[in-house]
Amino acid sequence: MKKGLNLTDILVTIVIAIVFGIVYKLWGPLWATVKPMGLHIEDLIYGMWFIAATVAFLIIRKPGVALLAETAAASAEFITGSEFGLSVLVYGILQGLFAELVFAAARYKRYDIMIVSIAAFASGVASLIGDYYQGYITSLETWNLLLLVGARLLGSVLIAGVFAYYLVKALEATGVTNLVRPASKEDYDALEK
């Protein structure tokens, strides 16, 4: 399999990113609605903002896709009028980069639920770093900070990890992912039987 991105890979990644960028825009009001419930319940659903990177990587399976997808999704969210302003672009780059680093550490050869969950966890860490530099979490008491971090990272793994993995598995079952993936040796062997 060629490692570099071709035009089809880039276009499919951008389409995935645009779809999730719109989801991100719609997710903001839901997140804000849940926030008043307290105890950082809203951070359990924060992982949706990392899902473009993991879904795009599971579909395209090439270097650079996670970073491109998350950056493009953040751009789409920004263009559609994100209530979080320009900071979504910084967060998108950070979250995509951290997911990309996990896939790179696995040499882009693992597509299992564990590696996707670790990438989602890493994106959650990136968002916390962004929150720290924005000053959003610096004044929290230790117990409150631990609650926020735990909820955010758990939500990241559940949504951008586990949910993303099974979403792509469902897409694979329809055969749609075969349109963007090259045929493997197993595919050719199956034809000879």
User: Is residue 168 over pLDDT 60?
Assistant: yes
Are the beta carbons of 121 and 157 closer than 8 angstroms?
yes
Q: Copy the structure tokens of residue 114.
A: 């564990």
**CA nearest neighbour of 24 among 65, 68, 94, 71:** 71
What number is the average pLDDT over the span 152-180? Answer: 93
User: Is residue 28 over pLDDT 80?
Assistant: yes
Task: Give the pLDDT of residue 179.
Answer: 81
Q: What is the pLDDT of residues 54-97, one digit of tens each?
A: 999 999 999 999 999 999 999 999 999 888 888 999 999 999 99
Of the chain, the percentage scoring pLDDT greater than 90 comes to 69
Task: Give the pLDDT of residue 81.
Answer: 87
What number is the average pLDDT over the span 120-126? Answer: 97
Look over the chain and give the mean of its residue pLDDT values, rounded to a whole number.
90
Task: Give the pLDDT of residue 10.
Answer: 92
Q: Is the dihedral of CA 103, 105, 111, 116 positive or negative?
A: negative
Rg from Cα positions in the chain:
17
Task: Give the pLDDT of residue 191.
Answer: 61
Task: Give the pLDDT of residue 185.
Answer: 65
Rounded Cα–Cα distance for residues 180 and 14 (Å): 13
Q: What is the pLDDT of residues 8-23, one digit of tens each?
A: 889 999 999 999 999 9
Rounded Cα–Cα distance for residues 120 and 189 (Å): 34
* CA–CA–CA angle 21, 16, 9 (5° rounding): 140
What number is the average pLDDT over the span 42-64? Answer: 94
Rounded Cα–Cα distance for residues 45 and 30 (Å): 9
User: Is residue 193 over pLDDT 60?
Assistant: yes
Among the ranges given (62-76, 109-123, 141-155, 178-192), the one the predictor scored with the smallest mean pLDDT: 178-192
27 phi and psi angles, rounded to 5 deg: -70, -30
**Sorting pLDDT into bands at 50, 70 and 90, what band is 6?**
confident
User: Is residue 36 over pLDDT 90?
Assistant: no
